[in-house]
Amino acid sequence: MKKTYYLFNPGHLQRKDDTLKFTPLEEDENGVGKKEGVPRYIPVEGVSDFFVFGSLHANSSLYNFLGKNDIAVHFFDYYENYTGSFMPKDFLLSGRMLLAQTSHYQSKKKRLFIAHRFVTGAACNMLKNLQYYNRRGKDMETLMEYISKHMEHIPQATAVDELMGIEGNIRQNYYEAFNLIINDFEMGNRTKQPPQNEVNALMSFGNMMCYASCVRAIHQTQLNPTISYLHTPGERRFSLALDIAEIFKPIIVDRVLFKVLNKKEIQEKHFDYRLNKCVLNEAGKKIFVKEIDERLNETIQHRSLKRKVSYKHLIRLECYKLAKHLLDIEEYKPFKMYW
């Protein structure tokens, strides 16, 4: 089974025959320069993609090798911002799918139908999170009632902007629950660029990891990542990944966020506070990334497939379902937690 590798240290990544060789760069004995650490060899057939959080030295020969082996590389800067991806050649490109995606975007009725489904799926998964903690003694009843009332307006929305407004109201009530769920930290207002406190820092970082995972899943299907339905297609972003990520952020990112804070796996010492922003330090990133990765690889019993599938594979299945809808094979129904 192919897996994701996370590179935190700066270093060199290069081809070594038919394997990959990563050589980390470490501080020398005097702490003033860099020296090469012990190299690690990675069998290429076992790699799905790389998430790069440090400086990476590589050449075109290496990227040619990665492309031929269908390996993606996702880059993040020091402040946890997703900056872009190297993606292998789009060998699954389909003119028929591109025309279908465009047709559904240009039709107000068809676009709105898909956008409704994205918002409904996201809202149901947020509600499931609150129900989970409500059963464990956290009083979520009032907020759950507010969200349920907002959800009643989703089918009545006649424009995407109106739908985004409903989704915003749902999220506002959902975020109010964070202070009840999380023990030692406060959510406050949702702040993104930059995040102003620990909860926002974790959420922003986790959401970008979820977005990158959705970009990769879309690339492994015939879908075009730039044509979206809830978010408006724009320059320099894969807006369809934003659409699909809405469904999975509550399931993957928020659940991990609650876990690492309430179990004190991540504490105040794992954050850096500088220049009016709060970000995870290297130790905090490693803990959080490890938990996100474990969540992505955790499996559930799939009701329709009658077998266990990972959360990472659920994202790809979501892309397949959307593709079938666009080709008029089967109506799209978003994934909703059923436990």
Per-residue tens of pLDDT for the chain, all 339 residues: 789 999 999 999 999 988 999 999 887 665 555 788 899 999 999 999 999 998 999 999 999 999 999 999 999 988 788 999 999 986 677 889 999 999 999 999 999 999 999 999 999 999 999 999 999 999 999 999 999 999 999 999 999 999 999 999 999 999 999 999 999 898 888 877 788 899 999 999 999 999 999 999 999 999 999 999 999 987 667 999 999 999 999 999 999 999 999 999 999 999 998 878 899 999 999 999 999 999 999 999 998 888 999 999 999 999 999 999 999 999 999 999 987
Q: Tell which of 17, 45, 76 closes a domain.
A: 76
Q: Is residue 288 part of a domain?
A: yes
Answer yes or no: do 125 and 38 share one domain.
no
Tell how many helices (H) and how many strands (E) occur in the chain: 11, 13
**Residue 20 is part of a domain; what is its CATH number?**
3.100.10.20
Q: Is residue 88 part of a domain?
A: no
Q: Is residue 86 part of a domain?
A: no
Domain count, the chain: 2
Answer yes or no: do 68 and 134 share one domain.
no
Answer yes or no: do 184 and 108 share one domain.
yes
Q: Is residue 15 part of a domain?
A: yes
Q: Tell which of 76, 108, 133 closes a domain.
A: 76
Place of tokens 């202070």: 179
Answer yes or no: do 252 and 215 share one domain.
yes
Answer yes or no: do 192 and 269 share one domain.
yes
Answer yes or no: do 25 and 171 share one domain.
no
- Closest by CA to 225, choosing from 296, 153, 23, 234, is 234
Answer yes or no: do 240 and 282 share one domain.
yes
Q: Is residue 314 part of a domain?
A: yes
Q: Is residue 113 part of a domain?
A: yes
Q: Is residue 294 part of a domain?
A: yes
Q: Which helix (H) or strand (E) holds 4?
A: strand 3-7
Answer yes or no: do 234 and 275 share one domain.
yes
Domain carrying residue 222: 95-326
Q: For residue 34, what pLDDT is reported?
A: 76
Q: Are 330 and 314 in contact (CB under 8 A)?
A: no
Q: Is residue 85 part of a domain?
A: no
Alpha carbons 119 and 147: distance in angstroms, whole number: 12
Answer yes or no: do 283 and 314 share one domain.
yes
Alpha carbons 184 and 178: distance in angstroms, whole number: 11
Report residue 36 as tokens. 């090469």
Answer yes or no: do 303 and 244 share one domain.
yes
| Interior angle at CA 14, CA 9 and CA 15, nearest 5 | 145
**Residue 239 is part of a domain; what is its CATH number?**
1.20.120.920
Answer yes or no: do 185 and 101 share one domain.
yes
Report residue 172 as tokens. 């506002």
Q: For residue 211, what pLDDT is reported?
A: 96
Structure pTM? 0.91
Q: For residue 236, what pLDDT is reported?
A: 63
- Closest by CA to 115, choosing from 337, 335, 332, is 332
Answer yes or no: do 17 and 152 share one domain.
no
